Amino acid sequence: MLGRIAEFFIFGVMPLVVGILVPELSVAAEKTLKGEVTYRERIALPPNAVLFVQLANVPQADAPAAVIGERKMAPAGQVPIKFEISFDPQVIRPDMTYVLQA
């Protein structure tokens, strides 16, 4: 009987206590970029139009652009079309140039 109690304590209670004492890993808070997409032409969007917006860095030399955040959506109406892109602010470097493309 004492062996069963010790077994319960070691395998049942201890993992619970250890799980409570271990701190959660902090996740970097995401930032959100908000804006509107428009165009000059006075042409209505077709009903099956899709908006694709990307936040990317401008590559140096022949390196490909790295997409930092993107949003794909079916517009609910005509321009201007509002969008939001979530991204990790830790990937933004002050020595790089970034672009929004739609």
Q: Does 5 map to a domain?
A: no
Residue 23 lies in a domain: no
Q: In terms of residue numbers, what domain contains 55?
A: 28-101
* Residue 60: partners with Cβ closer than 8 Å, 6 or more residues away: none
In a domain, 50, yes or no: yes
For residue 10, being part of any structural domain is answered with: no
Q: Is pTM, for the whole model, over 0.75? A: no
Query: Number of structural domains, the chain?
Result: 1
Asked whether residue 15 is domain-assigned, the answer is: no
DSSP state of 89: G
Instruction: State residue 56's pLDDT score.
Output: 93
What's the confidence (pLDDT) of residue 55? 94
Residue 83, number of CB atoms within 10 A of its CB: 19
69 in any annotated domain:
yes
What's the mean pLDDT in 76-88?
92
Q: In this structure, is the dihedral angle defined by the CA atoms of residues 43, 76, 72 and 35, taken in order, positive or negative?
A: positive
Answer whether residue 63 is part of any domain: yes
In a domain, 2, yes or no: no
pLDDT exceeds cutoff 70 at 4: no
Residue 99: which H helix or E strand, with range? Answer: strand 98-101
| Alpha-helix runs per DSSP H in the chain | 2-8, 14-21
pLDDT band at residue 11 using 50, 70 and 90 as cut-offs: very low
Please give the Cα distance from 93 to 91 (Å, whole number). 6
Token readout for 96 is: 């790089």
